[in-house]
Structure 1
Amino acid sequence: MHVLVMGAGVVGITSAWYLRKAGYDVTVVDRQSKAGLETSFANGGQISVSHAEPWANPSAPLKVLKWLSQPEAPLLFKPRLDPAQWRWAISFLSQCTASKAAYNIRQMVNLGTYSRSCLQALRDETGIQYDQLSKGILHFYTSHSEFEAALEPSRLMRELGCDRQVVDANQAVELEPALAPFKHRIAGATYTSEDESGDARKFTQALAAQAEAAGVEFRYSTDILGFDHTRDRILGVHTLKDGLHETLRADSYVLSLGSFSAILARQLGLTLNIYPAKGYSITVPVKNEDAAYEVSLTDDEYKLVYSRLGDRLRIAGTAELNGYSRDLNPARCRAIVRRCAELMPDAGYWDDASYWTGLRPATPSNVPYIGRSHYGNLFLNTGHGTLGWTHSCGSGSALAEIVQGRRPEVDFAFTGLA
Structure 2
Amino acid sequence: MRASLHLLKIAALALALCSQVASAAWYTARGTAPILDGDVAQARRAAIDDALRNAALQAGADVSIEQVLENGTLLNERMQIRARSPIRSMTVIEEQESGKAVTVMVKALIDDEAAKSDCYAGNLKKTVLPFMFRYEDPDASLTAAGMDGFDKYLTDLVYSGISQSPALTILPTDPSRLLISQSASGPDYSLQRSLDSISRRTQAQFIIVGSISSLAKSEVGKNAFTKMIYTPTRTIRFNVKIFDVYSGEMILTKDYAGDAEWDIEGPFVVRSDLFNTSEYGQRVAQLAKYAISDIVSTLRCQLPYARVVQVTPDNIRINLGSNDNLRTGMQFELIHRSDYRDRHSMPYYQHSDTDTVYKVVDVSPNAATLRPVDNRSQVINVMLDDLVRLKV
By percentage of residues, which structure has more strand? Answer: 2
TM range (shorter): under 0.3
Which has the larger helix fraction? Answer: 1
TM-score when normalising by structure 2: 0.23
After TM superposition, the score normalised by the length of structure 1 is 0.22
**Higher relative contact order, structure no. (Cα contacts within 8 Å, ≥ 6 residues apart):** 1
